[in-house]
A and B are shown apart, each in its own frame.
Chain A
Amino acid sequence: MSELLQVTNITAGYGDGPAILDGARLTVEPGKVHCIIGPNGAGKSTLLKAICGMLTIRKGDVVFKGERLNGLRPDQILRKGICFVPQERALFPKMTVRENLRMGGYVLSDTKLRDRRIDEILERFPVLRERADQHAGTMSGGQQQTLAMARTLIVKPDIVMLDEPSLGLAPKVVQEMFDIMKMMSQEGVTVLLVEQNALMGLKNSDWGVVLDLGRTLFEGPAEAVLADPRIQELYLGGRKVA
């Protein structure tokens, strides 16, 4: 197996606070959609934040393409090829859609290339093209999420990490977001997402990772994780089920 990103037994937390993650591990293979599931407080978002450099990793390793990422700043990790879209979507509300896309290409020094990619993205996402000169803050939740995901494509990243992209969206819109993720993975962008709705997340993914109390319980192909009795136990409190 040729893994793209390997997270081994990391410990991390906020500031000097207690460790939220303790023994989290993860394997990311190129071109697939990976879904991290787990109950509230399992440390799902924390894991993404640790990978992208927003939190200090106290123990363990994050290795990307054979290179250790521990201790790098978020902007350095982005330049390596890992993009993170946090839960709040991280848009600039008072900038237009086009300006937001331009910020997405901030690390590109070739401005012509950046502008060409912005045009490509506007071409591919009509919903954004129609609103290119509108302030991002005035768009609907689904449109904002689309912008946040599309914006990552400007730097042509290897991995896009999404923290609960479905949060606060109508079911129909949620499916559109998963369709965009599928499209991204078909184009060779590896997706790593955190999803509160385990069933829906796994159904739309290739690989599942189950996190509880800061530890990785197990990971495997999405169908296998979905069928695993331990999932029932975790979510339904399950001896009744077993």
Chain B
Amino acid sequence: MTDILQILILGLALGGVIALMGSGLSLVFGVMRIVNLAHPSLIICGAYVSYWAFKLWGLDPIVTLPIAALIMAAIGVLLYRLMFESQAKSARYSEMTVLLTFALAMIVEGFLGAAFTNTQRVTSPDYATDAFFIGSLFIPKGQLYAGCVSLAIIGALTLFLNYSRLGYAIRATTQNREAAELLGVNVNLISMIAFAIGIGLAGAAGSLVSFVFSFFPAKQWEWIAMLMSVVVLGGMGSVLGTVVAALLLSVIAAFVGAWVGATWSTMTFFLALFVILLIRPQGLFGEKPELA
């Protein structure tokens, strides 16, 4: 019983971080139909920001999280203007973004590799290797803090999307782009803001990831599959779905890791992706695809 509870706690804490990693991806797809394969590489950029801030100046990654988020959001604005704005009216927009962001992922990886080498890095504030003990249960502080901060950020994002004027405009653009435009929403500007928020979330996730996982530029390939399965299970574009899917898959992966073997743990996500696409391609919270 204690074992099960222990695995559940570890799974949920990691799930929180994965939820934050996926939420930006989901938001960007939901609003702009951009399948952002470069999302994990941008998370890694955020991780480097917090890593170097800690290494050089001893700044806590949770403290530098807003800075990483802002830097990445600014990069998001640049990327949007450079890569996506002019393509917005293309009939094959989504397909094109897959290729564009794939190229971006390679470029970012190459750039990071050249700048920081492919050495495994991890930010090591004191709490990253510490834990709380409750009876025979142990809760790693790093994962707990990262999970809680992640869920708090997602909570704030949800409040923002549901209650602010900008949030209304973003949701409206997600649900019906043309209608939003006809009601006076400047959909190009909203798309750019939503993209910047999405990439900002990648930066924030990066700060937390930097002390939860070890990372290096090529780590993105493992994460893209993991995040894709989370976003697909959640229903492409649904932030709530992403959170539920991340927690669910992460807990399952934790159990698989404990009972079947650690090597099989990451496989959980890939297997889940196949199974979801076969059985429920619209995911948990997504809409059924319309018949063309």
Measured CB to CB, the residues of A under 8 A from B are: 15, 52, 54, 73-75, 78-79, 83-86, 90-95, 99, 102-104, 106-107, 151, 155
Closest CB-CB distance, A118 to chain B, in whole Å? 13
CB neighbours of B182 from chain A (8 A): 52, 54, 74, 78, 83-86, 90
Known pairs A95-B172, A106-B169; A90 contacts B178 (CB<8 A): yes
Known pairs A79-B184, A106-B183; A86 contacts B178 (CB<8 A): yes
Closest CB-CB distance, B140 to chain A, in whole Å? 38
Measured CB to CB, the residues of B under 8 A from A are: 89, 165, 168-169, 171-172, 175-176, 178-186
A94–B183 contact, CB under 8 A?
Answer: no
B176–A91 contact, CB under 8 A?
Answer: yes
Closest CB-CB distance, A69 to chain B, in whole Å? 15
Q: Identify 15 residue pairs between A and B in the complex whose beta-carbon atoms are under 8 Å apart, listed by A's number.
A: A52-B182, A54-B178, A54-B182, A73-B181, A75-B184, A75-B186, A79-B184, A83-B182, A90-B182, A92-B176, A92-B179, A95-B175, A103-B180, A106-B165, A106-B168
Complex: how many Å from CA A5 to CA B184? Answer: 20
A103–B168 contact, CB under 8 A?
Answer: yes
CB neighbours of A84 from chain B (8 A): 182
CB neighbours of B171 from chain A (8 A): 92, 95
Given A90-B178, A92-B179, 5 further pairs, Cβ under 8 A: A74-B181, A75-B184, A75-B185, A86-B178, A90-B179
CB neighbours of B183 from chain A (8 A): 75, 78, 90, 103-104, 106-107, 151
Complex: how many Å from CA A107 to CA B178? Answer: 16
Known pairs A99-B168, A102-B168, A106-B169; A93 contacts B175 (CB<8 A): yes
Complex: how many Å from CA A193 to CA B144? Answer: 59
CB neighbours of A15 from chain B (8 A): 89
Closest CB-CB distance, B239 to chain A, in whole Å? 13
For A94, give the chain B residue with the smallest CB separation.
Answer: B175
Complex: how many Å from CA A75 to CA B179? Answer: 10
CB neighbours of A151 from chain B (8 A): 183
For B238, give the chain A residue with the smallest CB separation.
Answer: A94
Complex: how many Å from CA A52 to CA B89? Answer: 17
Complex: how many Å from CA A93 to CA B180? Answer: 12
A106–B184 contact, CB under 8 A?
Answer: yes
Closest CB-CB distance, A153 to chain B, in whole Å? 13
For A151, give the chain B residue with the smallest CB separation.
Answer: B183
Complex: how many Å from CA A151 to CA B180? Answer: 13
Closest CB-CB distance, B189 to chain A, in whole Å? 10
Closest CB-CB distance, A81 to chain B, in whole Å? 12
The listed residue (B89, B172, B178) touching A103 by CB distance below 8 A is B172
CB neighbours of A83 from chain B (8 A): 182
B186–A90 contact, CB under 8 A?
Answer: no
CB neighbours of B175 from chain A (8 A): 92-95
For B176, give the chain A residue with the smallest CB separation.
Answer: A92
Closest CB-CB distance, A76 to chain B, in whole Å? 9
Complex: how many Å from CA A163 to CA B110? Answer: 51
Complex: how many Å from CA A151 to CA B179? Answer: 12
Closest CB-CB distance, A145 to chain B, in whole Å? 14
Closest CB-CB distance, B82 to chain A, in whole Å? 22
Complex: how many Å from CA A83 to CA B166? Answer: 21
CB neighbours of A106 from chain B (8 A): 165, 168-169, 172, 183-185
Complex: how many Å from CA A106 to CA B89? Answer: 23
A91–B184 contact, CB under 8 A?
Answer: no
Closest CB-CB distance, A200 to chain B, in whole Å? 25
For B175, give the chain A residue with the smallest CB separation.
Answer: A92
Complex: how many Å from CA A78 to CA B178? Answer: 13
Complex: how many Å from CA A83 to CA B185? Answer: 13
CB neighbours of B178 from chain A (8 A): 54, 86, 90
For A109, give the chain B residue with the smallest CB separation.
Answer: B165
Closest CB-CB distance, B287 to chain A, in whole Å? 8
B172–A92 contact, CB under 8 A?
Answer: yes
Complex: how many Å from CA A52 to CA B106? Answer: 42
CB neighbours of A74 from chain B (8 A): 181-182, 184
- Residue of B171, B176, B178, B179 most packed against chain A (CB within 10 A): B179
Complex: how many Å from CA A54 to CA B183? Answer: 12
For B188, give the chain A residue with the smallest CB separation.
Answer: A73
Complex: how many Å from CA A69 to CA B141? Answer: 60
A91–B179 contact, CB under 8 A?
Answer: yes
Complex: how many Å from CA A99 to CA B172? Answer: 10
For B173, give the chain A residue with the smallest CB separation.
Answer: A92
Complex: how many Å from CA A225 to CA B254? Answer: 74
Complex: how many Å from CA A75 to CA B189? Answer: 12
CB neighbours of A155 from chain B (8 A): 184
Complex: how many Å from CA A15 to CA B91? Answer: 11
CB neighbours of B172 from chain A (8 A): 92, 95, 103, 106
B184–A90 contact, CB under 8 A?
Answer: no
Complex: how many Å from CA A85 to CA B178? Answer: 10
CB neighbours of A90 from chain B (8 A): 176, 178-179, 182-183
